[in-house]
């Protein structure tokens, strides 16, 4: 069944206490809007229309970042959910397919749930997503007879008897686009909020002889985010879900509650992750890698059999090749570490290409920045970089070459050469004792 998705994303989110549009607040380091757009895509939406409002330029930019094909319409005044959906009429009213309405602040709806709605929709005119809860609170109530729904009543407008109903509305609906837009044109705002409720479409449809059916989901999928407290709770739910997902797929988490993932994190089976690890956006880890404690990774690719940390920082545009090692207190940025190469401790590698089976000694720094421009360091296969070497880029170190510990390397090193780049040591007999005596007297 062909369908288009409308994502309502116009609200300011006053309770967020922020100038940022509500849907751009992040869960798993990605805007909530991206989570919902991803669900629409995975569920099979042919087109996705974002209804923006408050600071629509920011919402538009975020939507286009996720998908250049996203279409944007602007709701100049926020007059209710029905009014918001109506803004997409000119784009979608002539569509032969269905229309799915989603919400940019409800990020946990699953593609499988939408698939159930699509299946139900084959036997009805409008499919409505609902859930049961012991605490219905301010949720709209579904007035149902079995699986058929005749009305959705908002809590503000519900009678005491209706408020006892525990079957609640998620807000998500699926139906033929032309039918939904026709129903929206007939709704009125004579309610407690003076808004045009999308939910009123159900009563109008039912009275006109159309069949509306409910599809049930877990309440957790319908959780909306309206405050920073709720955002924190949503983040917690996201992380717990990701931990279970990865463990089910063969990733060992030594202290699961202390490992934090991003929306786009990819990890292969057999990988082990120790405690207090943060995986920021853009991290891909292949199978059988090891990420040791207190490491921070972002925008990088970790190949099979590699080892990172403890206390390592892997920054964007870094690739660790198979069997490579980045050890404790090492920072790597925009570099390729070749197969079986080792950067074991206390080093900075930036804007570098390191070949196969290279050993980088402790305290090595690629001096890649001259204050204006960044420069490249190229270290060829099987080179040995002595401890405390400063590689002043641009510079190339040849195959099987060696740099002496403490060297400052400013010129290219030929293959198999030994490079010294340090001043000659002189020993002044007795001067050490004299110097210390002098300093102690000065201190008094």
Output phi, psi for 266, to 5 deg.
-125, 130
Task: Give the whole-angstrom CA distance, residue 228 versus residue 260.
Answer: 19
Give the relative orientation of helices 200-207 and 177-184 as an angle to the nearest 10 degrees: 100
Number of residues that this document lists for the chain:
444
Output phi, psi for 362, to 5 deg.
-60, 140
Q: What is the dihedral of CA 198, 203, 204, 206, to 10 degrees?
A: 130
Per the DSSP assignment, residues forming a β-bridge with 285 are 267, 302
Of 83, 254, 345, 375, the catalytic one is 345
| 352 within 8 A of 376, measured Cβ to Cβ | yes
345 is catalytic: yes
Residues 6+ apart with CB under 8 A from 101: 5, 6, 8, 81, 85, 171, 172, 173, 174, 180, 198
**Which residues have a catalytic role annotated?**
345
């Amino acid at each position: 069944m062909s369908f288009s998705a409308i994502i309502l994303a116009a609200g300011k989110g006053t309770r967020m206490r922020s100038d940022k549009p509500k849907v751009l607040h992040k869960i798993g380091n990605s805007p909530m809007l991206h989570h919902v757009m991803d669900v629409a895509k995975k569920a099979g939406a042919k087109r996705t229309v974002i209804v923006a409002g408050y600071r629509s330029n920011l919402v538009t930019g975020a939507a286009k970042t996720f998908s250049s094909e996203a279409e944007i319409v602007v709701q100049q005044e926020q007059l209710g959910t029905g009014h918001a959906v109506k803004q997409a009429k000119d784009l979608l009213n002539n569509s032969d397919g269905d229309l799915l309405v989603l919400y940019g602040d409800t990020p946990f709806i699953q593609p499988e749930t939408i698939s159930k709605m699509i299946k139900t929709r084959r036997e009805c005119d409008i499919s409505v997503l609902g859930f049961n809860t012991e605490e219905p609170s301010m949720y709209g109530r579904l007035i149902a007879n079995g699986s058929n729904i005749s009305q959705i009543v908002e809590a503000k407008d519900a009678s005491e008897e209706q408020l006892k109903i525990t079957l609640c509305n998620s807000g998500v609906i699926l139906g033929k686009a032309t039918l939904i837009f026709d129903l929206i044109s007939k709704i009125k705002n004579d309610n407690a909020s003076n808004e045009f409720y999308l939910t009123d479409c159900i009563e109008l449809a039912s009275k006109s002889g159309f069949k509306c059916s409910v599809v049930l989901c877990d309440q957790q999928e319908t959780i909306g985010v309206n405050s920073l407290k709720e955002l924190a709770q949503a983040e917690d739910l996201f992380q717990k879900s990701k931990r279970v997902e990865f463990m089910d797929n063969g990733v060992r988490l030594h202290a699961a509650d202390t490992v934090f993932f991003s929306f786009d994190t990819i990890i292969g089976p057999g990988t082990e992750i120790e405690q207090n690890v943060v995986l920021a956006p853009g991290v891909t880890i292949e199978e059988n890698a090891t990420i040791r404690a207190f490491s921070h990774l972002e925008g990088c690719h970790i190949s099979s059999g590699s080892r990172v940390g403890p206390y390592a920082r892997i920054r964007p545009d870094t690739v660790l090749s198979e069997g490579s090692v980045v050890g404790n207190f090492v920072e790597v940025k925009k570099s390729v570490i070749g197969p079986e190469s080792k950067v074991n401790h206390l080093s900075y590698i930036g804007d570098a290409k390191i070949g196969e089976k290279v050993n980088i000694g402790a305290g090595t720094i690629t001096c890649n920045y001259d204050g204006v421009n960044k420069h490249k360091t190229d270290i060829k296969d099987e080179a040995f970089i002595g401890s405390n070497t400063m590689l002043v880029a641009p510079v190339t170190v040849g195959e099987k070459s060696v740099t002496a510990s403490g060297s400052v390397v400013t010129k290219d090193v030929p293959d198999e050469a030994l490079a010294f780049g340090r001043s000659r040591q002189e020993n002044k007999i007795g001067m050490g004792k004299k110097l210390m005596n002098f300093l102690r007297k000065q201190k008094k």
